[in-house]
Structure 1
């Protein structure tokens, strides 16, 4: 890996920093950890006994991250949005808010330098695919505006998607990686969930049943 690949795979707004805020202990026990964006209010994540993660983002952004090792395969999950973020454009820095997203993060190719290892949060040094609810029309695929060589955004649901309704997704991670980067996908290392309303403001409330390999 060269220095180019050392960009964070999760960067939809700014460099990420680990947060010290208390996380719902049930999420922490399950291996999740919270990542915030430096200088921005942090979205809230909570575990519900019904089996889903509830995300609340009011003028804020945040990522819930956990190890998720395995080969790139078909990935499925269910999600719903109860309060949608304002319309946004996933292609534009500073305008790329979204009601919810699922991020699939991949192994970095080659070793990182000592400095990069010390500065880069675990799991964020390789490439990443971001599956969005919000940010444009469904089916739109584009480079991540913050890491165009190492990140790709795929919009699954747009403003037409019904609110307060569970919807099911199944994505072909291997095929999406090849379309985005022109080569076979390396192993998956981490999974992240997020919501983002720090640019255009407003409130997004979403629920996600954590993804599983199909």
Structure 2
């Protein structure tokens, strides 16, 4: 596992107003599935999902539900733009998050260590209820400024799983704009571009690896794609997301 250092400056990246959607009910086995596949195609988002701005001053990516084979998936077309959707939750951190994703290519000019390179073909965020007292003074100040400027609540900590361009799979790094978001590289480069990839992540274990402490409650999840810094063009697709107990999580498979 590779760890990188980066500046902790604020980009107002994770602008989600928690509480807009009630946490959905768990299934009988304790799992929670956030399904795109049950939805009709078009720009109308499934219940519970909300658009949120990744940047107030830059172009918004086109986000819509589309058919991929016989299944409905979420498509983000990020053309010199950024966009994502988020869902508020209230879950124990002892979860395995499973999903599948696909990109047409990685973002060639990206560099997760630099603010001007902070773009990814695809991102999946998990937000956490970290107490304000656990943040550094600088992080608390940045949160206050961001809330005033954007008029949104911001998650105080997050994991950001990404499809990167050059860094090795397993890299963990602070976000170049806000260090309380930790980037984890799950896919890298173009060798598997155009193919659906299935991911299964032990969220609590990833939080401990990224932050060096126990994970607090999960408060939300988001999917996103962005090329607003590097001025490129990328397409990303996301399938259903499921939270489940670690023992109940499926084996990793790829298509």
Give matches, 1:1-214, under 5 Å. 14-16=11-13, 26-27=44-45, 29-36=46-53, 37-48=55-66, 50-72=71-93, 73-109=95-131, 121-122=152-153, 124-135=154-165, 136-148=167-179, 150-214=180-244
Unaligned stretches of 5+ residues in structure 1:
1-10, 19-23
Cα distance between partner residues in 2 of 1:168 and 1:120: 35
Greater share of residues in strand: 1
CA RMSD of aligned residues (A): 2.6
Q: Contact 2:76 / 2:83 at 8 angstroms: preserved in 1?
A: no
CA deviations on 1:143-178 (whole Å, 9 max, x unpaired) are 111121x11000111114422211100111101111
Shift of the alpha carbon at 1:69? 2.2
Query: In the comparison of the two structures, how many residue pairs are matched?
Result: 195
Q: Contact 1:83 / 1:203 at 8 angstroms: preserved in 2?
A: no
Shift of the alpha carbon at 1:93? 0.9
- Give 2:34's aligned residue: none
Q: Tell me, what secondary structure is at the counterpart of 1:177? A: helix
Q: Contact 2:11 / 2:178 at 8 angstroms: preserved in 1?
A: no
Cα distance between partner residues in 2 of 1:51 and 1:30: 15
Report the structure number with the largest CA radius of gyration. Answer: 2
Q: Contact 2:106 / 2:163 at 8 angstroms: preserved in 1?
A: no
Q: Tell me, what secondary structure is at the counterpart of 2:116? A: coil
Q: Tell me, what secondary structure is at the counterpart of 1:26? A: coil
Unaligned stretches of 5+ residues in structure 2:
1-7, 17-41, 134-139, 245-255
Q: Contact 1:12 / 1:96 at 8 angstroms: preserved in 2?
A: no
- Per the normalisation by structure 1, the TM-score is 0.81
Shift of the alpha carbon at 1:48? 2.6
- Per the normalisation by structure 2, the TM-score is 0.69
